[in-house]
């Protein structure tokens, strides 16, 4: 086993300060330098719209002003890093999601107005706005984690359970969201039973080969920390080999490549800043960071 050395960590810090957007620079300071949470909250406010949702490029592939479910998911992930979710933000998010969801309680990744703004081609050319389990499950799971109660959350929870119970096939991106939902949904017995039932299907769409290239999802994208519900899907050896690969994939400039398809230079650079923080968080969770870095000061 290797560990990320002080020099490697400092290289990642320099890359973030040099190339990442302001939001991710504040996240880095909060997550790895015991910085305050308020600058992250303040910066996130700039991406929030009056309808309670988020847009304005918080998702690098959605650069328009309008709120989108996928953008709101990114914002909710960042808010979750900060600990307790302020009630007014949680309720505002649910208010927006109520307007964005379909009759079945699920969310599309984007709304039809995405066609008239700057966005990645796979979003801008969308013609299917039906509900998606991946977007809905990730958002709903995080709302459960932060104890945000709202009728939308309950309706979306029922949608997720219905889709999960009937699932015959999945894909890697959806599998990540399903595992997040099952990690946080309150009905633990049902969650464990569903995880056991889906284990073979989920593992089949995850590339356990640590040197896989392209837009792949690794075991660590699911089991982002050792106590995650998805961790038992993979052997200790598979986890260790993928952790080794994460370390080896750090570039000389300190950053990690974004594996999304390139469509815009700014979006790619922003994704690299996000990916660098994600990789460091996972490496620390598994004890692979040599420096004794301070932990975030969270309210919960």
pLDDT at 2 over 80: no
pLDDT at 213 over 80: no
Check residue 194 and give its pLDDT.
Answer: 98
What is the chain's mean pLDDT, rounded?
Answer: 94
Question: Of 3.40.720, 1.10.10, 1.50.10, 1.10.3470, which CATH number belongs to 6-285?
Answer: 1.50.10
pLDDT at 299 over 60: no
Residues 100-154 pLDDT 10s? 999 999 999 999 999 999 999 999 999 999 999 999 999 999 999 999 999 999 9
Residues 245-285 pLDDT 10s? 999 999 999 999 987 788 999 999 999 999 999 999 999 99
pLDDT, average across residues 287-291: 81
The residues spanned by each domain of the chain are 6-285
Predicted TM-score (pTM) of the model is 0.94
Residues 223-249 pLDDT 10s? 999 999 999 999 999 999 999 999 999
Residues 182-212 pLDDT 10s? 999 999 999 999 999 999 999 999 988 876 6
219: left (phi over 0), alpha (psi -120 to 50) or beta: alpha
Band (pLDDT 50/70/90 cuts) for residue 214 is: low
Name the percent of the chain lying above pLDDT 90. 88
pLDDT at 300 over 70: no
Residues 60-92 pLDDT 10s? 999 999 999 999 999 999 999 999 999 999 999
């Amino acid at each position: 086993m290797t560990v990320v050395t002080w020099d490697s960590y400092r290289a990642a810090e320099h890359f973030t300060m040099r190339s990442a957007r302001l939001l991710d620079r504040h996240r880095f300071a909060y997550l790895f330098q015991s910085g305050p949470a308020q600058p992250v909250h303040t910066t996130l406010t700039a991406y929030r719209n009056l309808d309670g949702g988020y847009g304005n490029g918080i998702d690098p592939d959605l650069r328009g002003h309008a709120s989108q479910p996928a953008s709101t998911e990114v914002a909710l992930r960042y808010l979750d890093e900060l600990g307790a979710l302020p009630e007014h933000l949680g309720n505002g998010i649910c208010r927006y999601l109520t307007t964005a969801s379909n009759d079945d309680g699920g969310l599309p990744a984007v709304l039809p107005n995405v066609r008239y703004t700057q966005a990645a081609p796979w979003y801008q050319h969308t013609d299917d706005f039906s509900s998606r389990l991946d977007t809905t499950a990730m958002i709903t799971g995080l709302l459960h984690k932060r104890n945000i109660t709202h009728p939308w959350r309950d309706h979306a929870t029922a949608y997720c359970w219905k889709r999960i119970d009937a699932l015959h096939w999945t894909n890697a991106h959806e599998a990540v969201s399903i595992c997040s939902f099952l990690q946080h949904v309150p009905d633990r017995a049902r969650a464990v039973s569903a995880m056991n039932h889906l284990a073979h299907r989920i593992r089949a769409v995850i590339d356990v080969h640590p040197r896989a290239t392209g837009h792949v999802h690794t075991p660590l994208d699911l089991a982002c920390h050792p106590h995650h519900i998805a961790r038992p899907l993979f052997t200790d050896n598979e986890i260790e080999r993928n952790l080794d690969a994460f370390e080896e994939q750090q570039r000389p400039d300190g950053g990690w490549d974004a594996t999304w398809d390139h469509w815009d230079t700014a979006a790619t650079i922003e994704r690299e800043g996000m990916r660098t923080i994600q990789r460091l968080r996972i490496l620390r969770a598994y004890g692979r960071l040599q420096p004794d870095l301070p932990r975030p000061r969270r309210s919960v």
